[in-house]
Structure 1
Amino acid sequence: MQNLGRNLRAMLLAATAMAAPALAPAAFAAGTLTVTLVQDPGSWDPIDTFLVNWAKVGNNVFDGLVQRGPDMKLAPGLATSWEQSEDGKRIRFKLRENVKFHNGEPFDAEAVRFTFERLLGAEGAKGPQQSNYNAIDKVEVVDATTVDFLLKNPDPVLITKLAGYGGMIVPPKYIQEKGDEYFNTHPVGTGPFKVVDYQPKVSVTLEPFAEHWGGKPKLDKVVFRFIAEPSTQVAELQAGRVDIVTDPLPISAIPIVNSDPRLKVESITGPTVQALRFNTRTGITKDETVRKALIMAVDRDAIIKQMLGGQAKPIASFQSELSFGYDPALKPLPFDPAKAKQLLAQAGVKPGAAVQIDFRGSDANFREAAQAVAGYLQAVGIKSILKPYETNVILNEIIPAGKTGEMFQQGWGGWTFDYDNTAYLMYHSGEKWNPYDNIPELNALLESQRSMTDRSKREKVLQEIGRVVADKALEMPLYNLNAVYGVSKRVKNFVAPPDSRLRLTDVTVD
């Protein structure tokens, strides 16, 4: 297993060297920051996505009523203040005045109402964000600078949710005039940067919005380049054609970046977790005993140490220790290949039985982990077929449609730092990321905690959800990976965000 890690790291090093043989640094454009993204989200509409790669751009183009900085603290955004009724069913927001969208359209209470009616209506139903906000019954306009959110039941995570993704405020007149499809590729928000050019699968270019309520950004331009291949990203960073390789920088590339005096590595504990989830409907993994055997066959501590260079922590449930609902008493099934063989025999699985492992082909870190998992499974008599997919394909066509193999990669940012945002979407029946399971016990627990206002009681329910998932072995928890960035030293005032959602207002370049 150690040789496997060395070989894969050597391959990446060689690929990087081949991609950039003796290239001198490119001439830097004055005031321009260039950033890599591994994928093009395909739509810039806030209600169409959950992707972190959307947020790295969208967090600069749009504002929410609430915002959250790299320190993970909530602060006023388009709302200057808010207050909640005693029963938790009404939240009143006072809105920031004299704010404009990029097209000159004024921001007001009607824009807030339109945003959430659209999110909770037919258009929002097409995307993955609606269920995050279904506690909202309606949004009432009190006056031009005041809105009331009337809730069907209290949602203890709602304020945090309003700081990102589906809760970003959009321009009513612009969307009504141009239509949803046009908005997907020509987004307009109130954020510190505006989109001036979008070339699908190539790049998206932003320029500062001089009239932003928080002040004009210091950069002249930001170019996000879509580069799927990790070795190419690193080569472009070395060559001076990009300034930041965003999380995840391949672990194998850390020594390469650190050895270059013009570059540095930024690494911080974040919420991102990785697991191999199980197809519980077909194949040998429909048997709970088999699933537990496969988990016990894999030495996840060794993967973290040897494959990931210690840039990760083991997990027992699909959340990091930063998540509300994390249970320190819950321990992962131990690495025990002898017990794994015994359980496989007990379940009638014969040596040579096969499982297919689906994963995102562009994820270099997970590619190494998947290779290691395959090696461990081989040691207990299970043949692994590794099947890489283009990221958008596995996320939009394979997982939601229930077309996976026996095991499939699920990476999750847990950006609310609350287990609800992960668990509800992963384990509640009917959700996009739960193509196989309908477990009444889990449905009931997930629904009950959403209306709880007692923080300690709600935490206990979230911990119980984690235990049920672990007991039923719905996934093989792997690790909580650090947020790791490769950064040119010409970049100043860049603070690596734990949640990977960039906000570039104060960044400058030499």
Structure 2
Amino acid sequence: MRSLLLATICLVLPIAAQAQNNLTIAAQSAPTAMDPHFHRSNSNNAILRQVFDPMMDFDNAGAIVPRLAESWRPIDDLTWEFRLREGVRFHDGTPLHAEDIAFSFARLPRVPNSPGSFVSTVRTVTGVTIVDDRMLRVTTSEPTPFLDAELTAIMILSRRLHADSTTADFNSGRAMIGTGPYRHVSYEQGTRLEVERNPTFWGGAVPWDRVQIRFVTSPASRVAALLTGDVDLIDGVPTQDIARLRSDPRIEIFGTESNGTAYLFPDAVREQAPSITDRQGRPLDRNPLRDVRVRHALSLSINRQGIVDRLLAGQGRPAEQFAPPIAVGRIPDRPAPAFDIVRARALLAEAGYPQGFRMTIQGPNGWFPGDGEVLQAIAQGFTRIGVETRVEVLPTATFFTRATNRDFAMFMTTYASNLAAITLQQVVATRNPETRMGAFNRQHYTNPDLDRTLLAAMQIMDKPRRDAETAAAMRIAMDDFAVIPIFYPRVTWAGLRARVRYDASPSWYTNANNALPAN
């Protein structure tokens, strides 16, 4: 919780002690854009939360806490009331008004070419009533118990400042005017971001005068920069280096269990899928991934415990469902998935592929520590059961664009949420622009039973009943191998002990909001 109490803590710091107190971070993933409504990804959300604020947010303990909204409550099953903080201003002095919330909601579906839209966060919102400059009421088309959790994702813009702003305007810096603790200074795409302390931040003084975040995809280069003192903090610490860094008296390790899941997403829909052939390279007459027995066989071929132990050096745990232990609404006491090569081969033969087939699987480069090695290990497991598998690792921006374009038969990525229902809604619910479900369902998976169960869960205001129904939806997804969970990552940062302390974020957020000076 320290990250969201940072502003309060900093109120007692002597101003003199903050002079020229700069922070330099080496981060593994660059944002795909600086528009806070462009791409719902961890790297974008983390970086942009320094400049922009949501109405409320999750703290690092998983509780929803106030940000621009000082209070909120459901008035009835279809109406929520929000009261904004008094005196909040954007960096140029423009005051925050309730109309800015309505504007931000309305802007979400208008952002073009989004590889991961925020629009599902307001999928049930039918109206916003401005009571006065500080109060608004949000009406929904159905009971929406997760509305406050959903709205943590939306960073608030100004109708007056951003009415005509494009993603290009944010990338150039012209539109980078928020209410957050730091003001935008400069951005070099894919290279570095620089921000400075916002002296009028509504939360009080922050500890860093200036923050520079360098985007360094090479794990070895990040570690080298830390050891030479060129940077104060790094994320994505290579798992093989954690023990060595921990033994270095100059370095401190900060880590926590994440709220994310690394998973494979098979194309279980199309009659023909790209990059799948028989063992001789000839096209197949049908897509084998449409058969649940094939998807099950591929899952059985993955040595999850071996991946965690050998490739991740214990920095994670095998995944038995598509929501980590921190998430609300997951299946209780679900057993670990089996690793059974013999059974996997039998399922392939039963599905009509006794000789297997060929396939290429893709993943992003530098998305999490060891991602390329994990993908190779998965491919080796597939090959062992007869599915001869090649790996293609791509830069993150290219990967997500191509995944959204459905260029892959199967790919690996991660999804993070504190709520199992939101994970299912975003990734495996039937993709439907009208109902704004399935925003991250890049393989267009569909299952009517899952949709019905999940939609019912998301309308139940009673938490125990809602959690039970969410777990039922999760069972449907897992039994159908809609996605194939691999492991729950443990996220780790390393910093110079004399310079910085870091409040490790389960949401994988790397930013100055979570950092405090060591002294």
TM-score relative to the length of structure 1: 0.88
Deviations 1:222-281 (A, max 9, x none): 1111111222211211221122212x3221221332243211221211212111121213
Correspondence list, 1:370-409, <5 A: 370-396=375-401, 398-405=402-409, 407-409=410-412
Deviation of 1:175 (Å) = 1.2
- Residue 455 of structure 2, aligned match among 447, 459, 463: 447
- Residue 368 of structure 1, aligned match among 359, 366, 373: 373
More helix by share: 1
- Residue 114 of structure 1, aligned match among 103, 107, 114: 103
CA distance in 2, matches of 1:496, 1:297: 33
Deviation of 1:493 (Å) = 4.1
Correspondence list, 1:112-261, <5 A: 112-119=101-108, 121-123=109-111, 126=114, 128-163=117-152, 165=153, 167-176=154-163, 179=166, 181-186=168-173, 187-246=176-235, 248-261=236-249
Deviation of 1:145 (Å) = 1.5
Aligned length, in residue pairs: 473
Correspondence list, 1:11-22, <5 A: none
Report if the CA contact (8 A) 2:43-2:510 is conserved.
no
Report if the CA contact (8 A) 2:120-2:439 is conserved.
no
CA distance in 2, matches of 1:384, 1:124: 35
Deviation of 1:425 (Å) = 1.3
Report if the CA contact (8 A) 1:132-1:421 is conserved.
no
Deviations 1:84-115 (A, max 9, x none): 11x32111122111111011111121222222
Report if the CA contact (8 A) 2:363-2:393 is conserved.
yes
1:433 pairs with 2:437: no
- Matched position secondary structure for 1:206: strand
CA distance in 1, matches of 2:66, 2:137: 16
Structure 2 unaligned regions, length at least 5: 1-18, 274-286, 432-437
Deviation of 1:143 (Å) = 0.9
Give % identity.
25
- Residue 70 of structure 1, aligned match among 40, 53, 60: 60
Structure 1 unaligned regions, length at least 5: 1-28
CA distance in 2, matches of 1:123, 1:367: 31
CA distance in 1, matches of 2:374, 2:166: 43
Report if the CA contact (8 A) 2:495-2:501 is conserved.
no
| Deviates further, 170-179 or 32-41 | 170-179
CA distance in 2, matches of 1:125, 1:226: 23
- Residue 463 of structure 1, aligned match among 449, 471, 483: 471
- Residue 410 of structure 1, aligned match among 393, 408, 413: 413
CA distance in 1, matches of 2:171, 2:86: 27
Deviation of 1:328 (Å) = 2.3
- Matched position secondary structure for 2:404: coil
One-letter amino acid matched to 1:79: A
Deviation of 1:40 (Å) = 2.4
Root-mean-square deviation (Å) = 2.1
Report if the CA contact (8 A) 1:116-1:139 is conserved.
no
1:304 pairs with 2:312: no
CA distance in 2, matches of 1:225, 1:293: 41
One-letter amino acid matched to 1:433: F
1:357 pairs with 2:357: no
One-letter amino acid matched to 1:59: R
- Residue 333 of structure 2, aligned match among 304, 329, 333: 329
Deviations 1:328-382 (A, max 9, x none): 2333441111111111122221436222121112244222222222222232222
CA distance in 2, matches of 1:125, 1:43: 11
Deviation of 1:192 (Å) = 0.6
Aligned to 2:517: 508
1:421 pairs with 2:426: no
Deviation of 1:30 (Å) = 4.6
1:497 pairs with 2:510: no
Correspondence list, 1:271-310, <5 A: 271-280=259-268, 281=270, 282=273, 283-310=287-314
- Matched position secondary structure for 1:468: helix
- Residue 264 of structure 1, aligned match among 252, 259, 262: 252
1:104 pairs with 2:93: yes
One-letter amino acid matched to 1:427: V
CA distance in 2, matches of 1:361, 1:123: 26
Aligned to 2:14: none
CA distance in 2, matches of 1:151, 1:213: 30
Report if the CA contact (8 A) 2:361-2:392 is conserved.
yes
- Matched position secondary structure for 1:204: strand
Deviation of 1:162 (Å) = 2.4
Report if the CA contact (8 A) 1:62-1:191 is conserved.
yes
- Matched position secondary structure for 2:213: strand
Deviations 1:306-325 (A, max 9, x none): 22112211222111011111
Deviation of 1:327 (Å) = 0.9
Report if the CA contact (8 A) 1:43-1:184 is conserved.
yes
Report if the CA contact (8 A) 1:59-1:501 is conserved.
no
- Matched position secondary structure for 1:507: strand
CA distance in 2, matches of 1:473, 1:111: 41
- Matched position secondary structure for 1:474: coil
Correspondence list, 1:20-39, <5 A: 30-39=20-29
Report if the CA contact (8 A) 1:33-1:509 is conserved.
no
CA distance in 2, matches of 1:123, 1:507: 34
One-letter amino acid matched to 2:65: A
CA distance in 2, matches of 1:381, 1:206: 52
Report if the CA contact (8 A) 1:135-1:152 is conserved.
yes
Deviations 1:403-451 (A, max 9, x none): 113x21021121xx10122111111222343223222222222222222
One-letter amino acid matched to 1:302: G
One-letter amino acid matched to 2:292: E
**TM-aligned CA distance change 1:474 to 1:67, over 3 Å:** closer
**TM-aligned CA distance change 1:155 to 1:238, over 3 Å:** same
- Matched position secondary structure for 2:373: helix
Report if the CA contact (8 A) 2:31-2:47 is conserved.
no
Report if the CA contact (8 A) 1:207-1:220 is conserved.
yes
CA distance in 1, matches of 2:288, 2:219: 33
1:317 pairs with 2:350: no
Aligned to 1:474: 482
CA distance in 1, matches of 2:296, 2:155: 41
- Residue 47 of structure 2, aligned match among 48, 54, 57: 57
Report if the CA contact (8 A) 1:358-1:389 is conserved.
yes
Deviation of 1:509 (Å) = 5.7
Report if the CA contact (8 A) 1:330-1:467 is conserved.
no
